[in-house]
Copies of this chain bind each other. A is one copy, B any other.
Amino acid sequence: MTIAERKNKEKEEMSKRILDGARRVFLKNGYERTSMRNIAEEINYSPGTLYFYFKDKGEIFNKLHEEGFRLLLAKCKVLDNVADPFERLKAVGKTFIQFATENKDYYNLMFLVDEADDYKKGGLNVATDAINHLAATIKACQEKGHFKDMKTDYLTFMILSSIHGICALFCKDRTQNFKDHTTDDLMKNGYECFTMMLERA
């Protein structure tokens, strides 16, 4: 291994160290309460060092954003072996909601944090992969007779929105207006209500 190669490796390792530290602090204290100084302290480096490896805070969180999507997509891909597309669709939705409850902070980052302008476009990213995966399942449902006379794109957006809506209300603690129901109860039965609706359509 040449020196240049080792240097490259070291640089990557340092990037990883920062990202790992960022993830730890961030998963412990939540997105809003994580500062660059916190991250630097976690890995025992000075704040300035972070800027040698990452352009700004946005770039660090953009990496974790991608990581979140990769995690979610992996969980969804496991369900590819569910033969019936509608059953698969229901399972994907369930996985989605479960992911949000178990990884609230990742979910926040992926869908609810204000992205810095520089990272908005993103272009061909993992988020698009995840959406395409969902769209494929929905299309398969349509080919089996579900959701007649509906455009796949809009249908996908609608289904994603509906599931996301449940997760978003959960993540931002807006479920307390529904008295006599726990958040878990609402999410579970609310989603079941939705799938029942999909079944009839």
A interface, CB within 8 angstroms of B: 32, 111-115, 120-122, 125, 127-128, 131, 150-151, 153-158, 160-166, 168-169, 172-181, 186, 189-194, 196-198, 200-201
Contacts and interface: CB of A to CB of B under 8 A. Distances in A.
Nearest to A175: B157
B157 A164 contact: no
Contact of A114 (B151, B172, B181): B172
A153 B172 contact: no
A64 B190 CA distance: 29
A157 B173 contact: no
A128 B178 CA distance: 8
A109 to B, nearest CB: 11
17 contacts: A122-B176, A127-B174, A128-B179, A153-B178, A153-B180, A154-B186, A154-B190, A154-B193, A157-B186, A157-B193, A158-B162, A160-B169, A161-B162, A162-B162, A196-B201, A197-B197, A200-B200
Chain A residues touching B, majority SS:
helix
Report, nearest first, the 9 A-B pairs whose CB atoms are least far apart. Answer: A165-B165, A161-B165, A162-B162, A154-B189, A157-B190, A164-B165, A158-B193, A161-B166, A158-B190
Contacts of A189: 151, 154, 157
A136 to B, nearest CB: 14
Contacts of A190: 154, 157-158, 161
A196 B181 CA distance: 28
A180 to B, nearest CB: 8
Contacts of A196: 150, 201
A174 B114 contact: no
Nearest to A123: B176
Contact of A154 (B115, B153, B176, B192): B192
Contacts of A157: 166, 169, 175, 178, 181, 186, 189-190, 193
Given A154-B186, A162-B162, A172 B113 contact: yes
